[in-house]
Structure 1
């Protein structure tokens, strides 16, 4: 079953109904076992109505702090017409045959589910109205609803949803496409701020995250992998580990060469995690030689410089005649930008609990992409995917790291070797040193300006990782990135070099780097043209129009970008006089169907950076589902990006990561975090997600602010001590 199921709900999958024990109504929602009242029946459903009127709604998408466990059920509750305070939300299990796409990534959940989940709620409401109409022998169109109640105005009769649930369960569901959804002006839940569904549990320390999972008879595991990615175990004496008190077993796992699955290593299983770790520390593992050991950060930088001077391997976009336009330009500007590998570094390290018995596999995992994990586990254990049950547990941050399920496969493979459930927990060091990193990259720009200061030519020789015409994961760049299609003479060249390290998706993949380099260089062009940076961007955007094909994700609406740019300028008081040593920087970027402009005010004194304030203007369509959650997502993206820009960069030597913990891979601290003011500019477009679009423009706005404050242009991240 593909991801279309909830964009286009059908009777078969969205509205399969049946009477629950006790007269309840269950619709399109597989509940977790621990969430069911005694006597409830597990069926294919999204909504459960109890006889007493209590409402339980499932959230299908994994929750990793992005607030989707609150936002998606709000869509159902709105059209169902219930009080939000009467709703309990539970996490659905992973089952693509029922739910379609269950991925927390790409900021796509709101985009894909906004219409479909509203129709789920409307369908349940329609069934309840049908049940009341039959009970009272009145036309269905003479009935209306109030929160949790069906009303017949003519006779003033009223019936609660709980009273009608058993009768409604016997009816044939309507075609969801035939239903009329609420006018947004009538919304009572959507568009109002609601706290996170897990907030109380989080703040009281209740078991909430994957790392909190406890099962009867559970053992704990550590898994030692080679510092050099993919290297096999050459030799190891397991006796010292087995001699540690509490250790139950230690064994070699052969693994393979697929960086997405299980690597070679040594597992230690014990009756406590501490004992498992002590057993791991007792091992002296000799690792086999591996070709990746010849790779290093210094080597990559040297190779990138070499490739930048040579003809590009390929040209991905070539509009107009760039060389002729540069030759005829009144002024040319060249600059080289770079950014490092970075790790995800979520607060909760990777973990997974697995039980393998009688040919069945049961998994409890904080994963962003459960079906991909199911496929990997099925292959590793040689079992049918249908034999695997995956419980979705809240993740303590994801940022794209939990789209990869290597830790899930490790837990399942280890559990298959012992006669007990096993919880695998990585250390912080393992989490940073065995990540799927945001790739490093090098951009070599040249642009031409005419006598009026307008951009007449733009070219970028991008050096990245890959082989032939294949990029490493997240290492490629879309050739339609603005200002492509807005500058008549535009060329995007690329050269690649091989990489043995695992790479992957990090918040706003690709865009998290491209926003920095493109908007940083754009700022240079503004100053070279002698123009205000906001005014210069307005000129580059030009008249409101769509660049690209309507309906395609890479189309670019210059009017929407101009709208957020103007709003951010207004919010920040752009153009006002600021003290010496203080500067305002601006940047704007489109990604994940969202348009964001960011202004940062920064002060630099004796090389020390203080961020005074950030303003973010966002266009993510016509409707904000949960304003509180939306604001938090933008603020989180901005602060995440600031921390990465200021401090973060992975260093590799001899094929292995040097960084190991927050001491040498710092996060932004609360004391250094600036206030972030967020405003949304509504537009007549479908609602889109907010987990990522505010990240890409932020690093550029920061370095542009630092230039305004100091006159020093930063072209390489992290910023570190470059202003000292």
Structure 2
């Protein structure tokens, strides 16, 4: 793409300065009302004054030299949205991709929601971006029709130009831009979208727009931000969650080389906000980190210091014998059905707290001056960052400018703005800009963790081998929060079971109950919240039941799915479930993986699983080898996906599925955080290992099934089925059932 390096990190103000000087051109955008809905499409000529008024609303600019600049409003965290969403506009616009420059938009309410999480970026913007590109194309065609005095119906747009086939004439978009900008915008109902059969860009392989900058070390990420006079900060918090500073040796640390200031910030009780700590501000990151080692802080650690994973485990076991605090589903007569079953199976599954461990640790740069604050942050949720700064520090929102930088991974971690409010609070005490950088130890020990959990399961099978009863008592975790002045327990993100969860709506006799354990551990969304662990539990247990019934695991699952067709959302999630779509991907993955057609010696096996997550229907088959010494190797993973009618960027889509498989396998095999005395024991990658190349699957086969359904996202749905598919394959290979994560806690040796 032309000019990508020049503008890749430009703010809208930079963009205005660079483009206003060119004169002429077409700027097109959408006004978004306060509810986040598109209100109207607008266009204006790009004079300096008009650009100053309109550029904050613009998504598209077509300059007289033919350059097409598209603004990407969603944060880019590695999911490829900075490339794929502009591709949607470019497809409808009929623009040559080589003519496109993409810049990251800052936080601005005219864009509507700018958060990137829950695989929602594509489904919430896909249709609107089609309409936006088609509107610009329509206006360019109309401009050419008026210049040539012909009917617009006789013209076509192709390769960044409008063509008149009858005469062979054509005009480039650059030549038409100024005229197009003077036209009245057509009504939405008059806009004709392209037939998907004619797409030339969507569905092809397009490299990420930032890829050249990444591989050449360009400063794209939050941690790369540099400003004149920049100072550097670290923030020491209590090793026990939520602890408060009693005292610290501030004067000694202030006297150390390169240190500008050291001060205590009182903070509050919000585990997702500004907690008590000591800030060290210095001339360099090294000076700040070095001075921090000399800090001596006395902490009031509070009651959380009595909490431990061992204690939680014992309490969960005791609570499992009692009735759950919350009854989420209670269909039929579960106890009677269990008594009448030909065979009953009981099992307890558990999984630990884990960290996001994104490669770029949390960081944020802030500059407070004249009652306003400017922020540069690698965030998934810029609105939340602005909100917490406003509410905590009393700065009006219109005085908060937030620049969205690229993030070096997120996986849900950067939806929580704790690091943003820390940087902003430090900036209030500093003259000039200051960059807060978390160490790797900070990142592991002060994460917003994926919650651990305990599932106590019972199920009944009749004499025909059919599942007739299901009972799950889920013991989970919650934080105490204050709502309207009153304390209440708030379940951790991903720590709440829904009555909609499979197989809740499929079993005639089904009881789902939930008991929260109060804890002081901060919890946040981790890639595919809920689904990332529920899929492992449910589909591992279903596999147990299939084997107990002497049934083929695929056949057993298809029987459970049955012929229910389309199930409306009824529980907390409220999301409908298309059974036929799931059966389709399940049967497809079995066919692609040659399920049941291979003979495996002992030590090798196949496992199958599926899950509906974030609107995506995904099924996977894993093939594994387990050596007699217990060494696991995942030989092959086959993935079939149904995420709707269109793959936007085939390269990005394959990357997301393959990345989900590798990410899910790493968490399954190795990742575990132990909690002692209210604090995380692990501190760095030496005792919190990440997956290495040697442990990655030898082969990952990815299959996309196009269906006549709305397009959805792909950053999360492909992860959940991986863990149960691998664990079920382990059982098929050596007869050992994995009921505790991570895998390294289970002895897989066999003889």
Q: Which residue of 2 aligns with 1:591?
A: 613
Shift of 1:359: 1.4
For structure 1, the residue ranges without an aligned partner over 5 or more in a row are 31-39
Shift of 1:7: 8.4
SS at match of 2:153: helix
TM-superposition CA deviations, 1:27-82 (whole Å, max 9, x none) = xxx9xxxxxxxxx9844200111111011111111000000001000000001110
Q: Could you tell me which of 504, 516, 520 is aligned with 1:496?
A: 516
Shift of 1:139: 2.6
Is 685-694 or 171-180 further displaced after alignment?
A: 171-180
Q: Which residue of 2 aligns with 1:345?
A: 357
TM-superposition CA deviations, 1:263-298 (whole Å, max 9, x none) = 100001111000011111111011113111111101
TM-score (norm 1): 0.95
Is 315-324 or 213-222 further displaced after alignment?
A: 315-324
Q: 2:305–2:679: 8 Å Cα contact kept in structure 1?
A: yes
Q: Could you tell me which of 665, 675, 700 is aligned with 1:652?
A: 675
Shift of 1:465: 1.6
1:357 matched to 2:377: no
Distance 2:33 2:710 in 1: 17
Q: Which residue of 2 aligns with 1:35?
A: none
The 5-angstrom pairing of residues 478-493 of structure 1 reads 478-493=498-513
SS at match of 2:134: helix
TM-superposition CA deviations, 1:119-150 (whole Å, max 9, x none) = 11111111212222222222322222111111
Q: 1:230–1:257: 8 Å Cα contact kept in structure 2?
A: yes
Shift of 1:470: 4.1
Distance 1:7 1:188 in 2: 30
Q: Could you tell me which of 664, 670, 677 is aligned with 2:693?
A: 670
Q: Could you tell me which of 560, 566, 569 is aligned with 1:546?
A: 566
Q: 1:16–1:44: 8 Å Cα contact kept in structure 2?
A: no
Shift of 1:381: 2.0
Shift of 1:111: 0.8
1:614 matched to 2:634: no
Q: Which residue of 2 aligns with 1:313?
A: 325
The 5-angstrom pairing of residues 447-596 of structure 1 reads 447-466=459-478, 470-543=490-563, 545-549=565-569, 554-575=575-596, 576-596=598-618
Shift of 1:155: 3.4
SS at match of 2:200: coil
Distance 1:224 1:391 in 2: 25
Shift of 1:416: 1.3
Q: Which residue of 1 aligns with 2:39?
A: 10
Q: Which residue of 2 aligns with 1:694?
A: 718
| RMSD over aligned Cα atoms | 2.0
C-alpha spacing 1:630/1:598, structure 2 compared with 1 (3 Å): same
TM-superposition CA deviations, 1:145-191 (whole Å, max 9, x none) = 11111122333332111111111112221233431111001101111
Shift of 1:548: 2.2
Q: 2:32–2:39: 8 Å Cα contact kept in structure 1?
A: no
TM-superposition CA deviations, 1:630-651 (whole Å, max 9, x none) = 0110111111111001011111
Q: Which residue of 1 aligns with 2:155?
A: 143
C-alpha spacing 1:276/1:7, structure 2 compared with 1 (3 Å): closer
Q: 2:37–2:112: 8 Å Cα contact kept in structure 1?
A: no
Q: Which residue of 1 aligns with 2:728?
A: 704
TM-superposition CA deviations, 1:480-511 (whole Å, max 9, x none) = 11111111111101112111110010000011
Q: 1:17–1:45: 8 Å Cα contact kept in structure 2?
A: no
TM-superposition CA deviations, 1:514-568 (whole Å, max 9, x none) = 0010000000000011011111111111126012259985221221111111111
C-alpha spacing 1:559/1:87, structure 2 compared with 1 (3 Å): same
TM-superposition CA deviations, 1:76-123 (whole Å, max 9, x none) = 00011101121111111111x211111110001111111001111111
Distance 2:200 2:654 in 1: 19
Q: Which residue of 2 aligns with 1:285?
A: 297
Distance 2:211 2:33 in 1: 31
C-alpha spacing 1:504/1:177, structure 2 compared with 1 (3 Å): farther
Q: 2:566–2:577: 8 Å Cα contact kept in structure 1?
A: yes
Shift of 1:378: 1.0
SS at match of 2:328: strand
Q: 2:33–2:39: 8 Å Cα contact kept in structure 1?
A: no
Q: 1:589–1:597: 8 Å Cα contact kept in structure 2?
A: yes
Shift of 1:207: 1.0
Shift of 1:702: 1.2
C-alpha spacing 1:550/1:157, structure 2 compared with 1 (3 Å): farther
Q: Which residue of 2 aligns with 1:416?
A: 428
Distance 1:459 1:2 in 2: 50
Distance 1:335 1:4 in 2: 51
C-alpha spacing 1:4/1:445, structure 2 compared with 1 (3 Å): farther
For structure 2, the residue ranges without an aligned partner over 5 or more in a row are 1-29, 481-487
SS at match of 2:360: coil
Distance 1:86 1:544 in 2: 49
Is 397-406 or 141-150 further displaced after alignment?
A: 141-150
Distance 1:6 1:159 in 2: 39
Shift of 1:240: 2.3
SS at match of 2:701: strand
C-alpha spacing 1:333/1:106, structure 2 compared with 1 (3 Å): same
C-alpha spacing 1:508/1:4, structure 2 compared with 1 (3 Å): farther
SS at match of 2:611: strand
The 5-angstrom pairing of residues 145-544 of structure 1 reads 145-466=157-478, 470-543=490-563
C-alpha spacing 1:53/1:215, structure 2 compared with 1 (3 Å): same
Distance 1:16 1:669 in 2: 51
Is 562-571 or 65-74 further displaced after alignment?
A: 562-571
TM-score (norm 2): 0.91
Q: 1:586–1:599: 8 Å Cα contact kept in structure 2?
A: yes
